[in-house]
C-alpha cells in the first residue's frame, strides 16, 4: 500500500467512532465513516468525544462521512483497503453484513475486519467474498454514544486482531493483512492493539461472558450487579451456562483457563449495575445479536456431541423474544382470531 490506507468504517456508534478517530490519529489511515441516525448531528457539529485514551475532542469528523455505503463500481473513488464493521451482527434479519458491505468490496483487494461478537461470524463473508482476507477483531472497550455525535469512552481501547482462515487464498496473505491493520491501529500510540494467531481461543474466551451474562440479563431484565448481589441468579443460571461454554470450547480444541468462569462472573465492577448489550437492546425494542453469540456455540455443541441443555433453553427463550420484536416491527404476522 502506498500512502495512507483507505478505510471504510461501518457502524459509527461508540466503538466505531473511537476506532475511526484512533485510526486517523495515527496518521496512517484515511477513514470514510457511514453514519445513520447521527449523520445530521455530526455533519453540523462533528463528534464530541470524551476519551480515556485521547482526552477531550470537540468538533471532530472523519476524513469523509456518508449516509449510504459507497459503491466503488459506480463511483470514482479509490478501492477500500480495509472495511471495518462495528455494527451489531443480526444474522437472522436482512440485510446481513455481507449484503450491507457488498457495494464497497473490491474482489481480491479489500480486507474485511469484523469488530463484532460471536462465533463463526466470518462464514457468510467468506462465502460472499472468497478472494478477500477476513480478519477477526475482538474489542475490549467501554464506549457509548450518549446522544447523537456525543461519545463517552470510559474503558481503555484494547483490540485483538487475528486472521480467519480462508481456504481460497494463502494464509500468509491474511496474516499480512492482519499485521498491517495492527500497525495502522497502533500508530496513535494511545491504545493497545495486538495480533493473535489463535482466533478461536480469543472468541471462545469472550463467549464465556457474552453467551451467558448477556443472554441471562436479556431474558430476565436483571443487570449483572443485581445478579451478583443476590447470588442465586449466578449459581442457578449464569455459572451453569459458563461451564457449558467452557466444555464446548474444550471439545472444539480450545482449553480455556480454569479461572475463566469466576473471572468473567466478577469482571464488571459491582457498583455499576451494568446492563449487557442484549439486555439494552431488548429493553429498547431493538433486535438482539443472539444467533452468533448463543446459537452458534449451541450448534457447535450439537455437532461435537456435547450436552448443553442450559444453552439450548436460553437460546429458545431468546429466539421467542426476537420473534416478538419482529412481529412488533411488522416483519412477520400471525392469523387474526375470527370474531365470534
185-242 pLDDT tens trace: 999 999 999 999 999 999 999 999 999 999 999 999 999 999 999 999 999 999 999 9
Per DSSP bridges, beta strands 134-147 and 150-163 are antiparallel
CA end-to-end distance (rounded Å), the chain: 71
Note the pLDDT of residue 106: 97
Note the pLDDT of residue 103: 97
Note the pLDDT of residue 339: 65
Q: Which residue is listed with cell 474466551?
A: 205
Cα gap 337→69, rounded to integer Å = 43
Q: In this structure, what C-alpha cell is assigned to residue 16?
A: 466505531
Q: What is the pLDDT along the chain (340 residues), one digit of tens a residue?
A: 458 999 999 999 999 999 999 999 999 999 999 999 999 999 999 999 999 999 999 999 999 999 999 999 999 999 999 999 999 999 999 999 999 999 999 999 999 999 999 999 999 999 999 999 999 999 988 888 999 999 999 889 999 999 999 999 999 999 999 999 999 999 999 999 999 999 999 999 999 999 999 999 999 999 999 999 999 999 999 999 999 999 999 999 999 999 999 999 999 888 889 899 899 999 999 999 999 999 999 999 999 999 999 999 999 999 999 999 999 999 999 998 876 6
Q: What are the domain boundaries of the chain?
A: 5-197, 200-328
Note the pLDDT of residue 340: 64
Please give the CATH topology (third level) of the domain spanning 5-197.
Rossmann fold (3.40.50)
Note the pLDDT of residue 270: 85
Note the pLDDT of residue 298: 98
In a 13 Å sphere around the CA of 229, the CA atoms on its Cβ side amount to 11
Contacts of 90 (CB under 8 A, 6+ apart): 287, 288, 289, 291
Q: What's phi and psi for 256, nearest 5 deg?
A: -85, 155
Note the pLDDT of residue 1: 43
Check if CATH label 3.40.50.300 holds for domain 200-328.
no
- What sign does the CA torsion over 257, 260, 123, 82 have? negative
Amino acid at each position: 500500500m502506498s500512502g495512507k490506507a483507505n478505510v471504510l468504517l461501518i457502524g459509527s456508534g461508540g466503538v466505531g467512532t473511537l476506532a475511526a478517530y484512533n485510526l486517523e490519529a495515527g496518521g496512517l489511515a484515511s477513514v470514510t465513516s457511514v453514519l445513520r441516525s447521527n449523520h445530521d448531528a455530526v455533519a453540523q457539529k462533528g463528534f464530541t468525544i470524551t476519551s480515556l485514551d485521547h482526552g477531550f475532542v470537540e468538533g471532530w469528523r472523519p476524513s469523509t462521512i456518508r449516509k449510504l455505503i459507497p459503491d466503488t463500481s459506480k463511483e470514482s473513488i479509490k478501492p477500500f483497503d480495509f472495511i471495518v464493521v462495528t455494527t451489531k451482527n443480526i444474522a437472522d434479519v436482512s440485510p446481513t453484513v455481507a449484503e450491507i458491505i457488498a457495494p464497497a468490496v473490491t474482489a481480491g483487494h479489500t480486507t474485511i475486519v469484523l469488530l463484532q461478537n460471536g462465533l463463526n461470524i466470518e462464514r457468510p463473508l467468506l462465502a460472499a467474498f472468497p478472494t478477500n482476507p477476513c480478519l477477526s477483531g475482538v474489542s475490549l472497550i467501554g464506549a457509548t454514544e450518549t446522544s447523537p455525535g456525543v461519545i463517552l469512552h470510559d474503558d481503555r481501547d484494547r483490540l485483538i486482531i487475528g486472521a480467519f482462515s480462508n481456504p481460497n487464498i494463502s494464509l500468509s496473505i491474511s496474516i499480512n493483512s492482519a499485521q498491517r491493520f495492527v500497525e495502522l491501529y497502533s500508530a496513535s500510540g494511545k491504545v493497545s492493539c495486538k495480533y493473535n494467531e489463535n482466533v478461536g481461543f480469543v472468541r471462545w474466551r469472550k463467549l464465556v461472558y457474552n453467551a451467558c451474562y448477556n443472554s441471562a440479563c436479556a431474558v430476565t431484565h436483571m443487570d449483572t450487579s443485581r445478579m451478583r448481589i443476590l447470588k442465586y441468579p449466578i449459581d442457578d443460571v449464569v455459572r451453569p451456562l459458563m461451564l457449558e461454554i467452557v466444555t464446548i470450547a474444550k471439545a472444539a480444541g480450545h482449553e480455556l483457563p480454569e479461572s475463566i468462569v469466576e473471572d468473567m462472573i466478577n469482571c464488571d465492577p459491582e457498583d455499576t449495575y451494568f446492563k449487557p448489550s442484549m439486555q439494552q437492546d431488548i429493553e429498547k425494542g431493538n433486535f438482539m445479536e443472539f444467533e452468533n453469540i448463543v446459537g452458534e456455540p449451541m450448534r457447535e455443541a450439537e455437532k461435537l456431541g456435547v450436552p448443553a441443555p442450559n444453552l439450548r433453553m436460553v437460546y429458545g427463550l431468546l429466539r421467542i423474544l426476537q420473534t416478538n420484536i419482529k412481529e412488533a416491527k411488522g416483519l412477520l404476522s400471525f392469523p387474526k382470531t375470527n370474531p365470534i
